[in-house]
């Protein structure tokens, strides 16, 4: 959600800016722009739409300059337009700025600046910051030949007045070798090069440009020049920072022969699941091991309740985790929407452990929910995919997914990796309590068979493609499952909504007759997730009820099941696996179904409308 890139050094800024913005496309955006310092002024180019439009507006000859800023915008204040696209100017053009986040008090600040004579050309909250910095420059003291300190003082004074979240990169017309980055609640990464320095929303634009990065923390500012960089706290002066290696493999962010990132990431799931389990299954003790929980077995043994919180797909994985933990570990679990938990004041017992689940590690609602529960003294852990992310830093400990970069907006491999990590946590908590050594060994063996089962599930691709052709024009699709496969139904429906724009709903199969059955007609297909298990007969009865009302039925079922095949209009075969691993295997054909339907409908699979990969605003 919005992307920032910035460069200062001896090289041409423009090439990095455009390439960096392309690598940030996965975050979701509706307009883009760059500002390059070309001698005495900034040359600013903006466009509405994709980066290709921006590249066309720039033309064949990139503006020449060794300092520049770039931005992709996801609209919060004002529609997608040339005026609202970043970068924004402050004062009479002496300040240029790009901004991620939301400024909650922007209207009050804007009214004050208008009274001072500042003119606004956009509807954004971001332009307010640019003018605010320009205004503070008027009052900043002279610094005896050290202009850096004067500009820094102006930025510190400006951000101190902001309420809300911001990731900022700021440059100045009259100081062409100087860049300031500031962060509160919206991620920023500094790339450390040789005679050149970079700033970006995440590490992906820096791959191939530098091998060393610094993650800024809240209330920190970075001052970048070609000669070096420094980091300081907004209120406390300079701070020491940890320069980390940039570990992302540039090949992981390429299509590698696939037509879309989403399809590539669906097919990467056998390997991403292996990576999630690597080094975490302990045969000798028949349990799972985690290095980052930062809690002793005795502390974890005392846990009496677990809260799992997340948003969207991560919330669905939390529902899977609820079934797993209660089944294997017998610990009561509550699943909370992070956006609701952050504003509720629920009674939480002392021996409650809170897990925040997120792919990006930057989801604003999940971060706020964890901070609120941590402020009240509860232990917080994160399950996330991005090392150094805000949630990873804010939590007391956690587990990384090791799924690799997920570029497609619709999460696939991160979801199955989250479910896999939750399965291992369920085993770990279960072995601390009542799960026997023999049962632990059995669960480990079943987990080890998961990558092969997912690989087998991928073999249904051609079959799914035929089903997609049949139902691509549906206006509503119902997804129905029981127990472990109820969250699978929710996730399947969400994937279809996200990338094909077809209305879809997921329900427990038995709940269909309590309302949703009114939607059933010959034009409304129902997807039944019906593997063999304890509720198989019940779901069969629900499927019969849909057929009795003329509704088309798509069934996800095991092979050699004539009973299902005699009722369903279409059957997609999935391998038989134990109940607690069914959500990981059974979601794969549903991901493929969404992908192929969206493709047939001409939708942008990797960048669906209105959505963002990393939701960093409320």
Q: How far is CA 470 from CA 554, 586, 594, in A?
A: 11, 21, 13
Question: Could you tell me which CATH class the domain 461-618 is placed in?
Answer: alpha beta
Question: Do 3-248 and 256-448 agree at the fold level?
Answer: no
Catalogue the active-site residues.
2, 613
Q: Which residues in the chain show pLDDT less than 50?
A: none
Tell me how far apart the alpha carbons of residues 380 and 284 are, in angstroms, rounded to a whole number: 29
Tell me how far apart the alpha carbons of residues 96 and 90 are, in angstroms, rounded to a whole number: 6
Sign of the C-alpha dihedral, residues 562, 568, 574, 578?
Answer: negative
From 316, 575, 320, select the one nearest 458 (Cα to Cα): 575
For domain 256-448, give the CATH number: 3.40.50.10490
Boundaries of every domain in the chain: 3-248, 256-448, 461-618
Strand locations in 204-332, DSSP E?
Answer: 212-215, 220-225, 228-233, 237-238, 244-245, 281-282, 287-288, 305-310
For domain 3-248, give the CATH number: 3.60.20.10
Burial class (CB in 10 A: 0-12, 13-18, 19+), 554: buried
Report CA 117 to chain centroid distance, whole Å: 40
Contact by Cβ (8 Å): 615, 513: no
pLDDT at 145: 66
DSSP string, 72-90: EE--SSS-S-TTTSSPEEE
Q: What is the pLDDT of residues 522-575, one digit of tens each?
A: 999 999 999 988 888 899 899 999 999 999 999 999 888 889 989 999 999 999
pLDDT at 617: 64
pLDDT at 618: 63
Q: Which helix (H) or strand (E) holds 113?
A: helix 106-115
DSSP string, 284-310: TTTEE--SS--S-HHHHHT--EEEEEE
CB atoms within 10 A of CB 209: 18
Q: What is the pLDDT of residues 420-436, one digit of tens each?
A: 999 999 999 999 999 99
Tell me how far apart the alpha carbons of residues 495 and 498 are, in angstroms, rounded to a whole number: 5
From 102, 48, 52, 124, select the one nearest 80 (Cα to Cα): 48
pLDDT at 122: 95
């Amino acid at each position: 959600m919005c992307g920032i890139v910035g460069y200062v050094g001896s090289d041409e800024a423009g090439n990095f800016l455009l390439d960096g913005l392309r690598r940030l496309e996965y975050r979701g955006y509706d307009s883009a722009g760059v500002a390059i310092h070309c001698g005495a002024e900034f040359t600013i180019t903006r466009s509405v739409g994709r980066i290709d439009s921006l590249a066309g507006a720039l033309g064949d000859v990139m503006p020449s300059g060794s300092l520049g800023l770039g931005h992709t915008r996801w609209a919060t204040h004002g529609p997608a337009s040339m005026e609202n696209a970043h970068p924004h100017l402050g004062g009479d053009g002496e300040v240029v700025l790009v901004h991620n986040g939301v400024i909650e008090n922007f209207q009050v600040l804007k009214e004050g600046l208008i009274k001072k004579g500042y003119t606004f050309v956009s509807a954004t909250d971001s332009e307010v910051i640019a003018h605010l910095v320009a205004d503070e420059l008027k009052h900043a003291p002279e610094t005896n030949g050290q202009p850096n300190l004067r500009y820094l003082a102006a930025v510190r004074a400006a951000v101190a007045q902001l309420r809300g979240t911001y990731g900022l990169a700021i440059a100045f017309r009259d100081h062409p070798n100087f860049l300031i980055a500031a962060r509160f609640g919206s991620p920023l990464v500094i790339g450390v090069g040789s005679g050149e320095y970079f700033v970006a929303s995440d590490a992906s634009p820096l791959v191939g440009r530098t091998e060393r990065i610094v993650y800024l923390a809240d209330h920190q500012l970075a001052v970048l020049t070609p000669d070096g960089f420094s980091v300081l706290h907004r209120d406390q002066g300079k701070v020491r920072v940890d320069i980390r290696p940039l570990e992302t493999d540039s090949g992981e962010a390429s299509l590698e022969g696939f037509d879309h990132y989403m399809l590539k990431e669906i097919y990467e799931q056998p390997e991403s699941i292996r990576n999630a389990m690597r080094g975490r299954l302990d045969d000798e003790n028949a349990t799972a091991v985690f290095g980052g929980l930062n809690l002793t077995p005795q502390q974890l043994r005392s846990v009496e309740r677990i809260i799992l919180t997340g948003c969207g797909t991560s919330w669905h994985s939390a529902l899977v985790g609820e079934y797993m933990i209660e089944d294997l570990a017998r610990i009561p679990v509550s699943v909370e929407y992070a956006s609701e938990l952050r504003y509720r004041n629920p009674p939480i017992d002392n021996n409650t452990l809170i897990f925040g689940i997120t792919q990006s590690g930057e989801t604003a609602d999940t971060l706020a929910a964890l901070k609120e529960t941590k402020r009240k003294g509860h232990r917080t852990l994160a399950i996330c995919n991005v090392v150094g992310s805000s949630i990873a830093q804010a939590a007391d400990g956690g587990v990384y997914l090791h799924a690799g970069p997920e570029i497609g907006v619709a999460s696939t491999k991160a979801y199955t990796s989250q479910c896999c990590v939750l399965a291992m946590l369920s085993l770990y908590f279960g072995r601390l309590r009542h799960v026997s050594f023999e049962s632990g060994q059995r669960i480990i063996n079943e987990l080890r068979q998961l990558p092969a089962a997912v690989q087998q599930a991928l073999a249904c691709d051609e079959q799914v493609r035929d089903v997609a052709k049949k139902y691509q024009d549906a206006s509503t699709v119902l997804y129905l499952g029981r127990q472990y496969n109820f969250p699978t139904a929710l996730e399947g429906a969400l994937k279809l909504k996200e990338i094909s724009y077809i209305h879809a709903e997921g329900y427990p199969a038995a709940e269909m007759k309590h309302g949703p059955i009114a939607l059933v007609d010959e034009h409304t297909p129902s997807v039944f997730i019906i593997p063999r298990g304890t509720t198989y007969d019940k779901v069969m009865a629900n499927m019969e009820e849909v057929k009795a009302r003329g509704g088309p039925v798509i069934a996800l079922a095991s092979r050699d099941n004539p009973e299902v095949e005699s009722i369903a209009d279409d059957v997609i075969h999935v391998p038989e696996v134990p109940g607690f691993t069914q959500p990981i295997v059974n979601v794969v054909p549903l991901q493929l179904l969404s992908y192929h339907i969206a493709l047939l409908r001409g939708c942008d699979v990797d960048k669906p409308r209105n959505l963002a990969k990393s939701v960093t605003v409320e």
